[in-house]
Every structure is written in C-alpha cells, then in structure tokens.
Structure 1
Amino acid sequence: MPRAEREQQMVEVAEEIFADRGFLATSMDDVAEGVGVSKPMIYEYFGSKEGLFVACIRAARAELLNVTLASVVGVNSAEEALRRGLTAFFAFTDSHRRSWKLLQAEAAVAGPEAVAEIEAVRRQQTAVNTTLFESFLPDVPHNELEAYAEIVVGACERLSLWYVQRDDVDAAGAAEILMRMVWFGLRPL
C-alpha cells in the first residue's frame, strides 16, 4: 500500500479508537492492531502517540476547510453564506460526533502540539469567515470583521459541544439557533 494511503488508514483507525477510549487509554498497540501493522511502523510515520493524535486533528481540519468552502460556493447573500457555512460546520461535527467531543476535551492532555493544532483549526475558520464577511461587507473595517469571525468561531465551538450530546437537533437546527443570535448583529451591516 502506498505510504499516503497507509497513513490515511492509520489516522482513520486512530480517530475511531481515540474517540472510543480517549487519548490516555489508547495505546499504540491498539492502533497497530486495528490497522494491521506493527507498532514501530506507526512510530515511524507519526513519531509518538501525540503525533498520531495531531495527525487526526490535521485531517479533520483539512476536511472541515473543504466542507466549509464548498458550502458557500455560488452563494449570493451574506445571510445565506453564513447559514450554509454554519450548517456545514455542524454537519461536520455531527459526522465526527465522538471524536469532536474527544478533541475538545483531551487536546490539552495530549500535549502542546495538539493544543496548537486545535488553535490552528480556530484560526483557519476565523480566516475563512473573515474572507467571507469581506466579500459581502466591503465597507466594514477588516479588524471589525475579524472580531465578528472570532465571535462566530467561538460560538460554533461552544454550541457544537452542546449539539453533539443531543439527538433532538440536527445540523440545520443548530445552525438556525446560531443564526438567530448572530444574524441580528450582522444584518444591519
């Protein structure tokens, strides 16, 4: 199997095991057995358990960026762009429900690289939101749009922690809850 495919396989299996057992309770033996490779091979690819955990976060960050950007292609209004972006975010957290809770709860336990990677996810989403806001709100100062983007990212993160623990709200419903809060402040702009 080519290295890139094997690495992706290891990350996918590791994400499931981390989500099921938590970072501390997961061993590299567990992951090696799940993938069907030797433990030294996993160390060769990722260096450490934290390195593997960080690779899981990076893969999720790349996927989140792709689904977020795809959700706003062809959108004609700021309101629709925000709603679609929020829905895409909550659909993403829904498809990674168990691992999303794990990432939020255990990144600090995993180590400083994991904490930095979680922050990179936040910065990425803030940059996407700022760019999107700029395209619809060209007369609003950049630093103000950045502040709004930070607010949306923070609100998404907190609401997603609530959302992934529930079965009575879908991604569109979670997005609508946040739209009702955020859109009142942005609509006048």
Structure 2
Amino acid sequence: MSGATPRPPSRRTRMSRAARERQMLDVAEQVFGEHGYQAASMDEIAERCGVSKPMLYEYFGSKDGLLVACVTRSKAELLDVTQKAMAAATTPEDILWRGMVAYFSFIDSHSKSFAMLLREPTAATPQTAEAVEATRRQQSTLIAGVLATFAPSAPADVIEAYTQIIMGASERMALWQTSRPDVSAEDAARYMTDFCRQGLSPYLTPAPPRPCAEAPREPR
C-alpha cells in the first residue's frame, strides 16, 4: 500500500449537465418546501448540491428561474404519471379512480413543495404564477376528457363547470391531505370520486341490472 496521504474527494462531483440539473432541481424542491420561497437560500441549495452559487445562476438565471424550472418539471411528471395510471383502466369509472389516485399520490410525494406553492401564491414573480397556471390548464384538459367519458350524456358546459369545481376541490383536498398523515392517497381519491359520482349522477348511465339467479327446478 502506498504511504501517500489520500487526497480529499473533490467538492464537485463530475456529472453530465442533465444529471446535474436533475440534482439541482431535486435539492431546490426540498429547500423550497422546507423554508418557503422567500426564505429559501441559493447559498444553501448550492451547498447541498456541492456546487458554486454562480453555477446555479448559470443553469437557471435566478431563484425565480429555479422555482419555475421545478414547477415545469413537476407539471411534466404529473401528466406522465396520471396518463400512465389511466391507461391501465378498463372502465370509465376505473379511469377516474386511477387518475385520482395517481394525482394524490404524486402530491403526497411532493407535499412540502406543493403546500408552499399554495400557501405563498404571491411570493414569486408572474413567471412562476404562469407556470403554476399552466399545470392547472394541463390537468383541466385531462380531467375534462375523463369526465366526458365518465358521464357521456353531460352537456359541454356541465363538463366545463365540473372540471373547474374538481380542480379547486382537488387542490384543497391535497392541501388538507398534506396536514393529515393518516389520510392516504387512496382515501383522498375515494372522497373525490364519490363527490364526482354524486355531482354527475343525473348524467350517468345506469348500470344494467344484474340477472336474477334462476330458481332451481324441482326434480320430476
């Protein structure tokens, strides 16, 4: 064995640009969720990433640019997980259920940052607000399509109205869920699907009656 003193590991681990960006976004989301947007420090984010603060600015331009990037990534991930979940469904009701479970599961895994965005709506710049609204528009389009399948006889204005109701209710439900560790994603999804079923009941196609079992014939 060599008697030379081993060199300390480099503070900045070599990564590809894409991997480094993912790391920065992961850490930034944690810090934003822990401290809130205003109190979050670019110095702390850089320190946790093992990079210099100038490198953060090189990648994202500003703290707000970093938050926008976090929201934009979450938007894409949320669409991906909900679409994949619904693709495995076999009935309109199953599509609704799987979509709701996927949504609340995703929010549960990003609970701190999600709560921060809803509790500090005026903390960031218009660019961040627009990124959040873009996520809402994405989910609105997805929900409207699900509702149209779930309640095919509902008029377009009813679908549009219930889409907005469900969007608002889902955000409030998710925010409530983040403060209630005993409420699972499945619990939240069940509350929302029950709500949808009751609200849209005038437009739902009744399930066909189950055939009655034929009485056994007496032997002759």
Q: 1:42 aligns with which of 42, 56, 61?
A: 56
Matches of 1:39 and 1:180, distance apart in 2:
48
Matches of 2:194 and 2:114, distance apart in 1:
24
Q: Secondary structure at the match of 2:123?
A: helix
- 2:102 pairs with 1:88: yes
Q: Which residue of 1 aligns with 2:84?
A: 70
Report if the CA contact (8 A) 1:108-1:114 is conserved.
no
Matches of 1:74 and 1:68, distance apart in 2:
10
Amino acid of the residue matched to residue 83 of structure 1? W
Matches of 2:90 and 2:147, distance apart in 1:
12
Q: Which residue of 2 aligns with 1:162?
A: 176
Q: Secondary structure at the match of 1:110?
A: coil
Report if the CA contact (8 A) 1:130-1:145 is conserved.
yes
Matches of 1:101 and 1:149, distance apart in 2:
22
Amino acid of the residue matched to residue 190 of structure 2? E
Q: How many residues align?
A: 189
- 2:48 pairs with 1:31: no
Moved more, 51-60 or 144-153: 144-153
Report if the CA contact (8 A) 1:29-1:39 is conserved.
yes
Report if the CA contact (8 A) 1:107-1:118 is conserved.
no
Unaligned regions of 5+ residues in structure 2, if any? 1-14, 204-220
Q: Which residue of 1 aligns with 2:68?
A: 54
Give the superposition deviation at 1:138: 4.5
Matches of 1:82 and 1:188, distance apart in 2:
17
Report if the CA contact (8 A) 2:151-2:200 is conserved.
no
Moved more, 144-153 or 124-133: 144-153
CA deviations on 1:73-104 (whole Å, 9 max, x unpaired) are 13232222111111111111111111111111
Q: Secondary structure at the match of 1:108?
A: coil
Report if the CA contact (8 A) 1:93-1:100 is conserved.
yes
- 2:139 pairs with 1:122: no
Report if the CA contact (8 A) 2:96-2:150 is conserved.
no
Unaligned regions of 5+ residues in structure 1, if any? none
Report if the CA contact (8 A) 2:143-2:163 is conserved.
yes
Give the superposition deviation at 1:54: 0.9
Report if the CA contact (8 A) 2:31-2:40 is conserved.
yes
Question: Closer, same or farther in 2 for the Cα pair 1:3/1:143, shift >3 Å?
Answer: farther
Over the matched positions of the two proteins, sequence identity in percent amounts to 45
Report if the CA contact (8 A) 2:93-2:150 is conserved.
no
Give the superposition deviation at 1:141: 3.8
TM-score after normalising by structure 2: 0.80
- 2:31 pairs with 1:13: no
Matches of 2:159 and 2:38, distance apart in 1:
39
Give the superposition deviation at 1:140: 3.7
Matches of 2:150 and 2:116, distance apart in 1:
35
Q: Secondary structure at the match of 2:28?
A: helix
Question: Closer, same or farther in 2 for the Cα pair 1:159/1:145, shift >3 Å?
Answer: same
TM-score after normalising by structure 1: 0.93
CA deviations on 1:14-58 (whole Å, 9 max, x unpaired) are 001111111111111111111111111111111110110111111
